[in-house]
A and B are shown apart, each in its own frame.
Chain A
Amino acid sequence: MSGRVLVGVKRVIDYAVKIRVKPDNSGVVTDGVKHSMNPFCEIAVEEAVKLKEKKLIKEVVAVSCGPQQSQETIRTALAMGADRGIHVEVAGKDYETLGPLQVSKIMAALAKKEDAQLLILGKQAIDDDCNQTGQMTAALLDWPQGTFASEVSLDGDKVKVVREIDGGLETIKISTPAVLTADLRLNTPRYATLPNIMKAKKKKIANVKPADLGVDLTSRLEVLKVEEPPQREAGVKVETVEDLVGKLKETGRI
């Protein structure tokens, strides 16, 4: 077992920011807006670093796909305890259309190249809420997957994963190499301390192009329009239950 864990981290608009749609409805405003690491990716990094601290794995590699600024996100992962980073450069039009399909192809290629024992991702990103990358990557690699993990424990060459599902909790045991996606209650990510940020400056970030990995970034999707949710309209008060039923029939609700 290589003892190497790959963690995917995505740079997204910070959760506290008020999102604004661009006037041309082509997307949301990202220029000059505060960005940070996707919260579920933080949880993924934390889990990987914890495994290393327990000496169950040997190396944590943080990976991010995106433009120059994605390096900041990798640095945050390094400050949390990852050993090195890989920045897959995707910019311009390619970045605008970058989605789970393309990212999962990249991740699959890297997981093979780096001989990873585990690939840990956040369960979904807070900007697109796709919840697909982990699953697609596992399929491309033909690896088992433990998604929505709220508890992970290594046992030899197997991984026990407690999953949060609609009905409650499900415990599964899968072989490695495997793909895991982190859910909210998996752990509480540590604060990057300033001395660690300083130490992280010395850690290496490798630059890779998708072409080097033999990945084709063409998108099968085209975004037609992005718009705000409709404004909530005022309600109407009615006097009696009959009136209510009448109004509901009127608007075609029943």
Chain B
Amino acid sequence: MLLRKVSQSSALCGTILRIPPVLSGGQRQAGVVALQNSRLYASEAAQAVLEKPAAVGSDAATKVENKAAAAESKSFAVGIFKGQIATAQVFPFPSVLSQEQEQFLRELVGPVGKFFEEVNDAAKNDALEKVEDHTMEGLKEMGAFGLQVPADLNGLGLSNTQYARLVEIVGGHDLGVGITLGAHQSIGFKGILLFGNPAQKEKYLPKLATGEHIAAFCLTEPASGSDAASIKTTAVQSPCGQYFTLNGSKIWISNGGLAEIFTVFAKTPMKDPKTGEMKDKITAFVVERSFGGVTSGPPEKKMGIKASNTAEVYFDNVRVPADCVLGEVGGGFKVAMNILNNGRFGMAAALSGTMKSSIAKAVDHAANRTQFGSKIHNYGVIQEKMARMTMLQYVTESMAYMISGNMDSGATEFQIEAAISKIFASEAAWNVTDECIQVMGGMGFMKDAGVERIMRDLRIFRIFEGTNDILRLFVALNGFQSAGNQLKGLQKALKNPLGNAGLLAGELTKRAKRKAGLSTGLTLQGTVHPELAQSGELTVKAIEQFGLVIEEMLIKHGKKIIDEQFVLKRVADCAIDLYAMVVVLSRASRSLSQGHASAQYEKMLCETWCMEASDRVMRDIKLLRSGESRKLFKNLRAISTALVENGGPVSPHPLGF
């Protein structure tokens, strides 16, 4: 588009005028300004996108600063939206454990696995709808409740990678226990680890680490799920400033009935320093049940993870001392998002363990079941299922350890990748286990086989900790924001074309080449192992086209892109597939370089994955570009509207009654 316009009008400046509202009059974030009054969805997505630059550079956030921040991003996911390949965090596959850390981790893996095989009884926990008492005691003694708490505060001080490895074992045995542990340490008291001051850490962490106190994360309310910014629980500061009075109710709180320590998010009325008017901003608090006024309801009856306690928690005029504020007053939303972001890799790790376990069951069945005279693993239909199952597990595992490795190496920008891994892992695990049941046939449906329980446990993973739908919007909007910033930077350059001739010439050439489907010089050669060159090429082409279509979407829709959820969903799907491709390229490259016994096998996994993923990405891009997409989206919208208006299916019965 840009190219055509340039060729039509000789004046480069003419193009500025064509570059739509996205970039014009931009004060701050391009294309995201409208989020100031965002109502609809994804407060998490929208607000996070909004707040991120707020966090980056307060009110001095000029275009320049934002552009600088975006341009310097090391995140691969951010890069692809600009048609760039940021390799720093993805190649080579991270190896972050020191020899000592690795040895220590090896020693831990055995006992944890043994405990789950010999002591924990997942079926029993599911039937009782609680974790058996002796198992809870054993887990506490084992140190499972304080894996990442510093050693001097009674914890094990594990790094993210070490934590991921252990959580993988838990995921492979009992997701109900996994959630009990995760709700406690991955989100329940993570806020204290990330934002607590030394006094708070010393006061709370020791008992939390031993499991003497259990923690819970309290954000969701009856009227506020995805729209987290709309919570209604209030915390009003006393006139003397010494305490806050907390009132409200939270629902679906994991460990709600067991916890002693709650990380609670509430609205605190605050005076805006600039305008002087009272505004409600979210603040995070550490609330102890012993403060009084804290009660919890009975355990909810659920489809899965039955062993995990889920309950409503009520706060009735609870007096919370002012020194229980976590982080800054009014800074609670950031606290919440950071906590969730920080714990996401854990989910991918746990689910990769779950998938391993489902796959093992499927393999065992396929290798031993004879029908029509052969073992069923000889049949193409079964072979396709098994191959797909293991590819999905390989990708998930690679994502989990890439992200944990990045985090351990000090990366600060991984929120898009973390969100991608959560979406991917939860959907992959669901599909893998579903196919496992299919391979096992009727047996898979029976309780004793143990797979139906895993299926029930898995359903919630696509919903909690940020629904996959919201996270897709987050991935897309985050990406659009940085791409938009880059375009803005370009606009600035266009205002002074002579002074920026080189930059502009470069950009035009790049765009011309991309539009023509030619390589822009972007390459993974030298980064990816030579044997994977072909897959690398597919990836590069896909990224180039992706970058192009992102720009086209921005130019086409401008600010309104945030409302185009049909587009955003597909954009996110592409980003997920692209990250998945790069992650397996990285892992398989490493295996080939290190001459692993399984290197050729991994090469096959990588090539197969890249072939199919690249097809999907190209297909989505084609759809987004085509005029048909408009019609498609319009129809989908109209069908839904009619359905809602009618309160049910609209078409009359084929029989007429």
**Which A residues touch B645, using CB under 8 A?**
none
Q: Does B104 contact A (CB under 8 A)?
A: yes
Q: Which residues of A contact B114 (CB under 8 A)?
A: 191
**Contact A75 B111, CB 8 Å, known A193-B141, A194-B142, A194-B156:** no
For the complex, is A197 an interface residue (Cβ under 8 Å from B)?
yes
Bound-state Cα–Cα, A128 to B143, Å: 35
Interface status of B195 (Cβ within 8 A of chain A) = no
Give the complex CA separation of A79 and B142 in angstroms.
12
A244 beta carbon closer than 8 Å to chain B: no
Chain B residues within an 8 Å CB radius of A194:
108, 111-112, 142-144, 147, 156
Contact indicator A191/B111 (Cβ below 8 Å): yes
Residues of A within 8 A of B111 (CB): 79, 191-194, 197
Q: Which of A190-222 contact B (CB under 8 A)?
A: 191-195, 197-198, 201
**Which of B106, B107, B142, B147 sits near A191, CB closer than 8 Å?**
B142
A-B contacts counted at CB < 8 A amount to 41
Residues in B whose Cβ lies below 8 Å from that of A243: none
Judge whether B107 and A193 touch: CB under 8 Å.
no
In chain B, positions 103-154 with a C-beta closer than 8 Å to chain A are 104, 106-108, 110-112, 114-115, 119, 138, 141-144, 147, 151, 154
Q: Does A76 contact B (CB under 8 A)?
A: yes
Chain A contacts of B141 at CB under 8 A? 191, 193
A127 adjacent to chain B (CB < 8 Å): no
Structural contact, A72 and B143, CB atoms closer than 8 A: no
How many whole Å from B148's CB to the nearest CB in chain A? 12
Interface residues on B, range: 10 to 19
B151 partner residues in chain A, CB cutoff 8 A: 198
Instruction: Verify A191–B138 contact, CB threshold 8 A.
Output: yes
The chain B residue sitting closest to A75, CB to CB, is: B107
Closest-by-CB residue of A relative to B147 is A194
Residues in B neighbouring A191, C-beta threshold 8 A: 111, 114-115, 119, 138, 141-142
What is the distance, in angstroms, from B90's C-beta to the closest C-beta of chain A?
Answer: 29
Contacts of A132 in B (CB 8 A): none
Which of the residues B104, B112, B115, B147 comes within 8 Å of A201, measured between beta carbons? B104
Give CA–CA (A36, B110) in the complex, Å: 9
Please state if A193 and B143 are interface contacts (CB–CB under 8 Å): yes
* Chain A residue contacts of B143, Cβ below 8 A: 193-195, 198
Residues of B within 8 A of A79 (CB): 107, 111
Q: Which residues of A contact B106 (CB under 8 A)?
A: 72
Q: B110 contacts which chain A residues (CB < 8 A)?
A: 36, 76, 192
The CA of A195 and the CA of B211, in the complex, are separated in Å by 13
CB-CB under 8 A from B112, the residues of chain A are 194
A201 to B115 alpha-carbon distance, docked (Å): 21
C-alpha spacing A72/B144, complex, angstroms: 21
Q: Is the interface of B mostly helix, strand, loop or mixed?
A: helix
Residues of B within 8 A of A193 (CB): 111, 141-143
Question: In this complex, what residue of B is CB-closest to A200?
Answer: B107
Residues of A within 8 A of B154 (CB): 195
Query: How distant is the Cα of A198 from the Cα of B156 in the complex, in angstroms?
Result: 7
Chain B residue, CB-CB nearest to A36: B110
* Residue of B110, B147, B151 with most partner-chain A CB within 10 A: B110
Closest CB in chain A relative to B484 CB, distance in Å:
47
Chain A proximity of B418: nearest CB distance (Å):
26
Q: Mark B536-567, 1 if CB is under 8 A from A, else 0.
A: 00000000000000000000000000000000
Q: Is the CB of B107 within 8 A of A72?
A: yes
Nearest CB to that of B209 among chain A residues? Answer: A195
> How far is A245 from B306 in the complex, measured between Cα atoms in Å?
61
CA distance A192 to B104 in the complex (A): 13
- Please, which residues of chain B bring their CB within 8 A of the CB of A192? 110-111
Q: Distance (Å) between the CB of B185 and the closest chain A CB?
A: 13
In whole angstroms, how far apart are the Cα atoms of A140 and B114 in the complex?
A: 37
Contacts of A195 in B (CB 8 A): 143, 154, 156
A63 to B537, CA, bound (A): 56
Query: How far is it, in angstroms, between the C-alpha of A16 and the C-alpha of B638 when the chains are bound?
Result: 60
The reply to whether A197 and B138 form a contact with Cβ atoms under 8 Å apart is no
What is the bound-complex CA distance between A175 and B260, given in angstroms? 54
Docked complex Cα distance between A139 and B555 (Å): 90
Centre residue among A76, A192, A194 by max chain B CB count within 10 A = A194
Q: Give the contacts of A158-207 with B (CB-CB under 8 A).
A: 191-195, 197-198, 201
**Residue from the set A76, A79, A195 with the largest chain B CB neighbour count within 10 Å:** A195
CA distance A198 to B149 in the complex (A): 13
- Kindly state the separation between the CA atoms of A201 and B143 in the bound complex, as whole angstroms: 16
Which of B108, B138, B147 has the most chain A CB atoms inside 10 A of its CB? B108
- Min distance, Cβ A41 to any Cβ of chain B, angstroms: 15
CB-nearest residue of chain A to B104: A201
Considering only CB atoms, which chain A residue lies closest to B106 in the complex?
A: A72
**Which residues of chain B in 270-291 are interfacial with respect to chain A, using CB atoms and an 8 Å cutoff?**
none
Q: How far is the CB of B87 from chain A (nearest CB, A)?
A: 32
CA distance A36 to B114 in the complex (A): 12
Measured CA separation A201–B110 after assembly (Å): 16
Expressed in whole angstroms, the Cα–Cα distance for A72 and B102 within the complex equals 13
User: Which residues of A lie under 8 Å from residue B144 when comparing CB positions?
Assistant: 194
- Shortest CB distance A75–B (Å): 6
CB closest chain-B residue, reference A71: B103
Residue-wise, chain B 82-116 has the 8 Å CB interface mask toward A (1 for contact) of: 00000000000000000000001011101110110
Report the bound CA distance from A195 to B112 in whole Å.
12
Closest-CB distance, A204 to chain B (whole angstroms):
16
Using CB atoms, name the residue of chain B closest to A197.
B107
How far, in angstroms, from A191 to B139 measured CA to CA in the complex?
A: 11
Q: What A residues does B119 contact at CB under 8 A? A: 191
The residue on B at minimum CB distance from A196 is B143
Tell me the complex Cα distance, A191–B141, Å: 9
List, sorted by A's number, 25 A–B pairs whose CB atoms are closer than 8 Å.
A36-B110, A72-B106, A76-B110, A79-B107, A79-B111, A191-B111, A191-B138, A191-B142, A192-B110, A192-B111, A193-B111, A193-B141, A193-B142, A193-B143, A194-B108, A194-B112, A194-B144, A194-B147, A195-B154, A197-B107, A197-B111, A198-B104, A198-B143, A198-B151, A198-B156
Q: Which residues of B contact A (CB under 8 A)?
A: 104, 106-108, 110-112, 114-115, 119, 138, 141-144, 147, 151, 154, 156
What 5 A-B pairs have minimum CB-CB distances, sorted nearest first?
Answer: A194-B143, A195-B143, A192-B111, A193-B142, A193-B141
Apart from A75-B107, A194-B144, what are 15 other A-B pairs with CB-CB below 8 Å?
A: A72-B106, A76-B107, A79-B111, A191-B114, A191-B119, A191-B142, A192-B111, A193-B143, A194-B112, A194-B142, A195-B143, A195-B154, A197-B104, A197-B111, A198-B156
